[in-house]
Amino acid sequence: MSEAVSGTPSAMPSAVAGPSAALSLEEKSQDPEGCPTGRGRLPTTLVVLSVVLVVSVLAGVALGPTVVPLGDVVRFLSAAVTGGSIGADEVTGYSIVWHVRTPRVLLAVVVGAGLSVVGVAVQALVRNALADPFVLGISSGASVGATAVVVFGVFAGLGVYALSAAAFLGALGATVLVYLAARSPLGLTPLRLVLTGVALAYGFQALMSVLVFLSPNGQAARTVLFWLLGSLGSASWESLPPAAAAVLVAIVVLLRQSRSLDVLSLGDETAASLGVDAEALRRGLFVLTAAVTGLIVAVSGAIGFVGLVLPHVVRIWVGSTHRRVLAVAPLAGACFMVWVDLVARTVFAPEELPLGVITALIGVPVFLVLMRRRGYLFGGR
């Protein structure tokens, strides 16, 4: 991916004078209450969210159908990490904390952070405030691969990684199809990407329905439906590393490209004048979001609204430049998903609610409030 050129012609209007100008304008922006949304708010936000995340993780591990005292949680986690010993009467509590809840809560952290970051990337990719992986058909493609595993046992030889492999290949296949269908002599334009992605997403959903209809397993429909609405019930220590690695790589890569993403939001012509190859950058973002989405969908199912709403909330709080949004969005998404998962497994315990139901119940009214918020626009106010 190309980096933005710092120098700009002196005759260029100041409104498009490059990423540095865009940043300086954003640093000076204020929210409706007159509070600066620049650098002063970012460090405090990062510290507060980091503390909230630690508290949320501990609460997520301690709370559930069986409540484990916080002191025992800390002691069990310490024993597991350092190789310490526990009493014979504490084996059940230790198993609940270390083998069941800890990987699930950490996976919620990874999924929440990943969905938020992918949402930021996709919205920058297509310059559309309503974009997320679902709009581009990536999530639907990943869901087709995962459905094939659930229904027909495809890639069963890969064991616990079968779902991840199938979802990743499904996302990759969807990416290739969307890219080939959307590409034109003018390049990969945002509008064609969105329209092609939406159309193919319906096609992938129809294919999922056919797979379920042809399934020899009578319970396949219920299993696939619950999985498609999102669940972390299958979380394990084995399923955590691939998704965590993908999300970490995505965060690092996108932070390194934050200036280029700012320039991309100004339009392809302006980006070209500043030395950013918009089409190459868009291709790189497309591949990155496909890979991360595939791995996230594989471990959690298709969870909506997180990648759509949270980037907007973060922009309102810390400003619109991608460096700040990408620094805050993973922490905000991680905290949010930990509590969503906690609600999902405790409200109707021992039954679990699908995560997508809760995110929709929260995301729809929040998004409507954002739409009604006076002066709020994508990437600014």
How many C-beta neighbours within 10 Å does residue 92 have? 10
Distances (CA, A) of 341 to 229, 242, 374: 13, 20, 32
- In the prediction, which pLDDT does 151 show? 81
Over range 232-252, report the average pLDDT.
91
Percent of the chain with pLDDT over 90: 34
Q: What backbone phi and psi angles, to 5 degrees, belong to 93?
A: -60, -40
4-13, 46-55, 231-240, 303-312: which range is least confident on average?
Answer: 4-13
List the alpha helices (DSSP H) in the chain: 19-28, 41-62, 70-82, 91-94, 102-126, 138-152, 162-182, 190-213, 220-228, 240-256, 258-264, 268-273, 278-300, 306-318, 322-346, 355-372
- In the prediction, which pLDDT does 295 show? 84
- In the prediction, which pLDDT does 129 show? 72
Would you say residue 211 has pLDDT above 50? yes
Output b/e per residue, 121-148; b: 16+ Cβ within 10 A. Answer: bbbbbbbbbebbbbbbbbbbbbbbbbbb
Assigned domain for 307 exists: yes
Q: Over the stretch 123-143, which tens digit does the pLDDT of each residue have?
A: 888 887 777 777 788 888 888
From the number of C-beta atoms within 10 Å of its C-beta (0-12, 13-18, 19+), residue 58 rates as: middle
Assigned domain for 120 exists: yes
Q: What is the CATH number of the domain that holds 55?
A: 1.10.3470.10
Would you say residue 14 has pLDDT above 70? no
The SS3 assignment for 150 reads helix
Question: Which of the 8 DSSP states describes residue 59?
Answer: H
14-18, 274-278, 330-334, 360-364: which range is least confident on average?
Answer: 14-18
- In the prediction, which pLDDT does 198 show? 87
Would you say residue 48 has pLDDT above 80? yes
- In the prediction, which pLDDT does 8 show? 37
The SS3 assignment for 157 reads helix
Residue pair 379/315 in contact by the 8 Å Cβ criterion: yes
- In the prediction, which pLDDT does 39 show? 55
Over range 22-47, report the average pLDDT.
56
Over range 356-360, report the average pLDDT.
92
Assigned domain for 5 exists: no
Assigned domain for 88 exists: yes
Alpha-carbon span 106 to 363, nearest angstrom = 22
Over range 171-176, report the average pLDDT.
85
- In the prediction, which pLDDT does 16 show? 36
Q: Determine the structural domain holding residue 169 and report its residue range.
A: 35-372
Q: What is the mean pLDDT of the chain?
A: 82
Would you say residue 240 has pLDDT above 70? yes
Residue pair 250/376 in contact by the 8 Å Cβ criterion: no
pLDDT band at 70 (very low <50, low <70, confident <90, very high): very high
Assigned domain for 287 exists: yes
Assigned domain for 377 exists: no
**Torsional class of 335: left (φ above 0), alpha (ψ -120 to 50), beta (otherwise):** alpha
Number of domains in the chain: 1
Beta-bridged to residue 380, according to DSSP, are: 377
Q: 3: number of CA atoms within 13 Å, CB side?
A: 7
pLDDT band at 189 (very low <50, low <70, confident <90, very high): confident
Is pLDDT larger for residue 280 or for residue 112?
Answer: 112
Beta-bridged to residue 377, according to DSSP, are: 380
The SS3 assignment for 235 reads coil
- In the prediction, which pLDDT does 375 show? 53
The SS3 assignment for 184 reads strand
Would you say residue 22 has pLDDT above 80? no
Both tokens of 167, joined, read: 């979802």
Residue pair 306/117 in contact by the 8 Å Cβ criterion: no
Question: Can you tell me which residue has the tokens 């969908």?
Answer: 297
pLDDT band at 165 (very low <50, low <70, confident <90, very high): confident
Assigned domain for 10 exists: no
Assigned domain for 357 exists: yes
Would you say residue 313 has pLDDT above 80? yes
Question: Can you tell me which residue has the tokens 């429909």?
Answer: 221
Nearest alpha carbon to residue 330 among 109, 142, 149? 109
pLDDT band at 9 (very low <50, low <70, confident <90, very high): very low
For helices 41-62 and 322-346, give the axis angle rounded to 10 degrees.
20
Output the pTM of the full model. Answer: 0.83
10-19, 35-44, 210-219: which range is least confident on average?
Answer: 10-19
pLDDT band at 274 (very low <50, low <70, confident <90, very high): confident
Would you say residue 338 has pLDDT above 60? yes
Q: Over the stretch 366-379, which tens digit does the pLDDT of each residue have?
A: 888 877 765 555 44
- In the prediction, which pLDDT does 11 show? 36
Alpha-carbon span 273 to 268, nearest angstrom = 9
Q: How far from each other are the two terminal CA atoms of the chain, in whole angstroms?
A: 29
